[in-house]
Every structure is written in structure tokens, then in C-alpha cells.
Amino acid sequence: MIIVSHRGPYTFVRRPDGSFETRRGAGGVVSALGPLLAGKGHLWVAATMTDDDRAALRAGAARAEAIDVALLDLDPVLHRLHYDVVSNSVLWFLHHGLFDLPRRPRFDRRFREAWDAYVEVNRNFAAAVTEQAPEGDVVLVQDYQLALVPGMIRADRPDLRVSHFTHTPFCGPDGIRVLPDEAARSLCSSMAGGPAGFHTQRWVANYQASVRDVLGSEPAAFCASFGPDRGALEAVAASAETAAARESLAALVGDRRVVLRTDRIEPSKNIVRGFLAYDLLLEEHPEWRERVVFVALLYPSRQSLLEYLAYSQEVELAAARVNERWARPGWTPVIVDSRDDFPRSVAGLERYDVLLVNPLKDGLNLVAKEGPLANRSDGVLCLSREAGAFDELGDVALAVQPYDLEQTAAALHTALSMEPAERVARAAELKVRAGARTPHDWLVDQLRACGVDADAVS
């Protein structure tokens, strides 16, 4: 089996002595797959993402836990156009409904050059597979950065069984019609040449409607939601790093209630409205002043994009405004911590009384499942109905309408005020639901979609 994803499960960091440390990569889903595949002789093709990744590759040190990782050293200019312009500024915005349509996008000559780079980078990935894959092997291609890869592989190696899995939402016909016609046709033809998977039925339906609109045909698609690796979460929870993070969090929040969020700093995560809703909560419910702390564990993402830099500043400003308005001696209403540190996130997830997950749109949102699994405080989940995970957890969580500040503030108030018996009952049911799907289940569903016996990964 070959996994193909843009960001790999690991990233490499050069130590002062010149050796390389292997760390968990930024994408939650692909990271969780690493341990599952270890030691089974599978191949994983991914891009080098940092200078240290490239240095590790050249030094022959880009290796990890018995997974055969084939990192691609892509032309930096092409890779930037592929990643920054097409993948993140166009496809990500398209599928998450983030375009401010009267102004953006504008498809000009610069976009066409970037599109050519997107095609070229996809070709590099496809070539890495077709050159190495044994006859009849199964190839699982991941996400929007590599949407053309399945079509390219099938054209070259019809013997391979290829599927594509999208971790984001998928836009409907109104969205796909925003793309230049040739781009929409290429994406749809590549994905529709075989099985295409999504985390929820909603994205399956959008995808099928888009393909019908663009190609006039009915594509094969499947729904396979992902679930956290409970054992891996427990191992992180048992680590010395998490113990230290637990202590520093306890020192920060004392015996106050904790509203928590943990996200990449990302416009679709709706972080600013989260702070505005909390501000409203403190305004409308004076009883919570000095009794609650909003802990925001946020980590930087896609900092080469202006939109993301600007959004980071808006996030900082929104948090600072809440603090300016409400802070009292000995009480800081919002604590923002922007270090990328998974043990710190696990310590936060264990401790929250309320977990706020309010994205504008999200393919799944793994935090919504990791939170209830890791939590030890009978915490309540406030979950956006626009997150894919809502389809599995929505009736046990408190629903959030992510654009409605008053509704979100009311959900936070309901969560904070909930009677202990109801909290306990909901938290117990959430743990069951959040653990119902494992990384293994998700992998097996992809293999089945390719017509492969699931024993290949057991």
C-alpha cells in the first residue's frame, strides 16, 4: 500500500549537533496514521515542507518509526505556487466558502502560471508513485493539494488501484462554478476516475452534485469519517511533557471554570467570533466575570499568506479587547498561548469545562473528537453545526451557529450552567461517540472502496 499526502506524518528538526529529531507533523489525521502503518512495509510519499526536512532528506535522515517515507524535494518556486496560491488561497477558500466574492478570486495570468505549477507538482507526486509501485498495488491519495494525482496515476499505471480522500469539505455546484472551467474539469475528472472519499455524507453530496454539474456524470463516492487514536492520546497524556503542561495550566486557571479551544490560526476556525461571543457572555452574564477563563491554545499556520498574517493580528486584537474590557486584578479573562505543542493541547483537553469548536466549515474537526476522549472534567462540547463531526456528535453536543454571536454566547452560558448530572451523562455519551471510529476503520473503508481486502492493514 502507498499513502500519498502533501504534508507527511513527520517533520524533521535539526539538532545543534547536526543530527535530526523526528516530530509529529501538523496535520492531525495523517499524523494519527503513522503508528498504524509502522513496520508493515508500506510506503508514504510526501513533500519536504521545511529547510530542515530538505536537509534531513539530503543527509539520508528523513526516516521514522519503520515507515518508509519518500519525501519529495520539489522545485521551491513551483512548490510555493502550488501550495500558497492554488492549494491554500484558491482550493482551501473554495471548499470552506471563504471567498469574498465581489473581490476575490481573480483568475488572471498569474493564476494560470500557478495552476501550471499545481499540475507539475501533482505530476511529481504521481511519478514518485508510478515509478515505485509494485504491480497491482493500492494507492491512497489524500486531500485537495493532490487532487490531480489519482487521474495521473491511472493514466500511467492502470494496474494500480487508486482512491482519493478529501479531508476538507467539498464545495457544491455554486462553488465549483467559480473555478476556471478547465481547472474545474481537471479536478473533477481526476477525482471521479475512481472512488473519492469524504468525512461526511454532506461533502459526498456536494461533490457528486459538483461532478454532475461539471462533467454530467455520476461519480463513485464514499463516506468514511476519521476517529482519533485513543492509545496514542493516552500515551501523550501519560508523558512527562503533558504532566508539566497540566501543572502550568493549573497554576494559570486555579479553580476557575475553563472554556477552551485549540486550533491552527486559520480563518475558517472562526476564532475571532469565538472571542466576540465570550465578550457578549461576560456582558450579559455578570455572574461569570472572574469565575471563568477562556484558554485559547492556538498555533501559527500558513504564515506565508497575507490573509493568515492579517487574521493572526485580528485574533490577537480580539483577545486583547476582551482583556482590556473585563480584566480585574488577579483575573485575565482570555489567555492565548501560541506555541505549537501537542502535550500542552492534551493537558488543556483534559481540563476544559467547555470546549468551543465553532468553525465556519470544517471537513471533520478532529479536536471535537479528541477533546471528549481526553477530557477528565465532564466537559461540555459546544460544536458548530458546520463541522463534519457534528453529524456524529451533534445531538450530544450543544449546537453552535458559527455566525451568530448571541446564539454562541447563549450556548457557552448553557454549557457553563449545566447541571452536573447532565454534564456527566453527555460527557459519557460523547466519549463513546468520539471513540466509535478509529484510524484503522477509516483506512479499511478506503481499502474497501478500492476493492481491496481489509486484511492488508490488519
Nearer to ligand G6P, 301 or 377 (CB): 301
For the CB of residue 39, give the shortest distance to ligand G6P in the complex, in Å: 24
| R_g of the chain computed on alpha carbons | 22
3-class DSSP state for residue 20? strand
Enter the C-alpha cell of residue 445.
473503508
Which of 312, 318, 374, 320 lies closest to 344 in space, CA to CA?
374
Nearer to ligand G6P, 7 or 79 (CB): 7
CA angle 256, 292, 368 (to 5 degrees): 100
Nearer to ligand G6P, 146 or 412 (CB): 146
What is the rounded CA–CA span in Å between residue 249 and residue 260?
Answer: 11
How far is the CA of 394 from the CAs of 110, 192, 391, 420, in angstroms? 42, 30, 6, 20
Nearer to ligand G6P, 42 or 167 (CB): 167
Site for ligand G6P in 142-171 (CB under 6 A): 143, 167-168
Q: Out of 7, 79, 157, 351, which residue is the one contacting ligand G6P (CB under 6 A)? A: 7
Q: What count of Cα atoms within 13 Å lies in the side-chain half-sphere of residue 243? A: 4
CA angle 443, 447, 450 (to 5 degrees): 150
Nearer to ligand G6P, 26 or 178 (CB): 26
What is the rounded CA–CA span in Å between residue 451 and residue 51?
Answer: 39
What is the rounded CA–CA span in Å between residue 381 and residue 195?
Answer: 33
For the CB of residue 198, give the shortest distance to ligand G6P in the complex, in Å: 12
Nearer to ligand G6P, 292 or 364 (CB): 364
Q: Which residues pair with 43 in a beta bridge?
A: 2, 68
Nearer to ligand G6P, 90 or 409 (CB): 90
**Binding-site residue total for ligand G6P (CB under 6 A)?**
8
Residue 301 binds to ligand G6P (criterion: CB under 6 A): yes
Count helices and strands (H / E) in the chain.
Answer: 19, 15
Nearer to ligand G6P, 96 or 433 (CB): 96
For the CB of residue 423, give the shortest distance to ligand G6P in the complex, in Å: 30
For the CB of residue 457, give the shortest distance to ligand G6P in the complex, in Å: 21
Q: Out of 23, 26, 316, 456, which residue is the one contacting ligand G6P (CB under 6 A)? A: 26
For the CB of residue 458, give the shortest distance to ligand G6P in the complex, in Å: 26
Q: Out of 24, 96, 302, 437, which residue is the one contacting ligand G6P (CB under 6 A)? A: 302
Residue 370 binds to ligand G6P (criterion: CB under 6 A): no
For the CB of residue 147, give the shortest distance to ligand G6P in the complex, in Å: 11
The neighbour count for residue 5, using CB atoms within 10 Å, is 24
Which of 264, 235, 272 lies closest to 403 in space, CA to CA?
272
For the CB of residue 25, give the shortest distance to ligand G6P in the complex, in Å: 8
Side chain identity at 371, as an amino acid letter? G
Residue 95 binds to ligand G6P (criterion: CB under 6 A): no
Nearer to ligand G6P, 22 or 413 (CB): 22
What string of DSSP letters covers 24-73? E-S-HHHHHHHHHHTTTT-EEEEE--SHHHHHHHHTT---BTTBEEEEE-
C-alpha dihedral sign at 204, 208, 214, 217: positive
For the CB of residue 130, give the shortest distance to ligand G6P in the complex, in Å: 22
For the CB of residue 302, give the shortest distance to ligand G6P in the complex, in Å: 5
For the CB of residue 49, give the shortest distance to ligand G6P in the complex, in Å: 7
Residue 27 binds to ligand G6P (criterion: CB under 6 A): yes
3-state SS of 345-370 is HHHHHHHCCEEEECCCCECCCCHHHH
Residue 200 binds to ligand G6P (criterion: CB under 6 A): no
Cβ neighbours of residue 180 under 8 Å, at least 6 residues apart? Answer: 107, 111, 112, 115
Nearer to ligand G6P, 337 or 362 (CB): 362
The contact set with ligand G6P (CB under 6 A) reads 7, 26-27, 143, 167-168, 301-302
